[in-house]
Amino acid sequence: MTKPANQMQSPARRIFWTPAGPKLFPGIAVSLLVAVAAQFLSDHYGAPAMLMALLMGLALNFLAENGTRTQAGVEYAARTVLRLGVALLGARISVGMLTDLGGAMILLVIGGVVATILFALIAARFFGRGWRMALLSGGAVAICGASAAMAIAAVLPRTDKSERNLAFTVMGVTVLWSARAFLSAPRWARPRPWLS
């Protein structure tokens, strides 16, 4: 026996029409507004969307404090929605893309990621930082930058320094990448007579 159309539950209906749904809505709406605003700034001013979202998130951090109406929704977006977004981002890498690379190249990439994270763990110990910071920054550098940092931060155990470490890592990766691109741009922009 099939359910009538009014009793069928879509994923959105399961989230928002549960007892927790009205609690989640204000925070998810704020998170969505930050995401749209960050993308707008990125499209119109050329700044990385992830950096804009992080800066706006830092400015609106008071909305995630205990006792606010938006706390539950912001926390839900920071965990569940972020993980879903990273999974969808990873789904863009297909099996066909991996097989086109070949086995040796895949092993080289895996070795590079592991070596970078191990280096971060050693450097963190040398500079007196914890393993969470090392894993976060090493993973961000080794994998894909700010989005990897946010995905790793979502699964690491939360501490009182979690947000600070995430902000430092995302801003560091973004600024270093932007500085590298800025410094190498004059080499790209040199006139090349053989191209004209």
pLDDT at residue 82, as a whole number: 73
Q: What is the mean pLDDT of the chain?
A: 78
**What's the rounded Cα separation, in Å, for the pair 177 and 104?**
27
Examine the domain organization and report whether 70 and 125 are in the same domain: no
* The model's pTM: 0.56
Number of domains making up the chain: 2
Domain end, chosen from 50, 72, 93, is at 93
In a domain, 170, yes or no: yes
Query: What is the pLDDT, as a whole number, of residue 77?
Result: 84
Both 114 and 49 in a single domain?
no
Q: Closest Cα partner for 77 from 26, 119, 118, 37? A: 26
CB 54 within 8 A of CB 167: yes
Q: In terms of domains, do 19 and 89 share one?
A: yes
Continuous H helices in 46-145: 49-59, 71-76, 82-91, 95-101, 103-127, 131-142
Domain with 51, as residue range(s), is: 15-93
Residue 9, pLDDT score: 55
Residue 13 has pLDDT above 60, yes or no: no
Main-chain dihedrals φ then ψ at residue 159, nearest 5 degrees: -130, 180
Mark whether 77 and 106 lie in a shared domain. Answer: no
Residue 194 predicted with pLDDT over 60: no
Q: How far apart are CA 14 and CA 183, in angstroms?
A: 50
The reply to whether 56 falls in a domain is yes
Q: How many angstroms from the chain centroid is the CA of residue 132? A: 16
In a domain, 4, yes or no: no
Answer with the one of 58, 93, 128 that is the final residue of a domain.
Answer: 93
Out of 93, 121, 147, a domain closes at 93
Could you tell me which residues come within 8 angstroms of residue 156 by beta carbon, excluding any fewer than 6 positions away?
Answer: 132, 135, 136, 162
Clarify whether residues 116 and 86 are in a common domain.
no
Tens digit of each residue's pLDDT (9 = 90 or more) over 74-121: 888 877 787 777 666 666 666 677 778 888 888 888 899 899 999 999
89 shares its domain with 104: no
Which tokens is 96 given?
Answer: 């066909």
Read off the pLDDT of residues 24-50 as tens digits, 9 standing for 90 and up: 888 889 989 998 998 899 888 887 787
| 78 and 106 part of one domain | no
Coil, strand or helix at 149: helix
Does 48 lie in the same domain as 26?
yes
What amino acid occupies position 81?
V
* 196 domain residue, yes or no: no
- Let me know whether 89 and 105 are in one domain: no
- Residue 5 included in any domain: no
**In terms of residues, how long is the chain?**
196
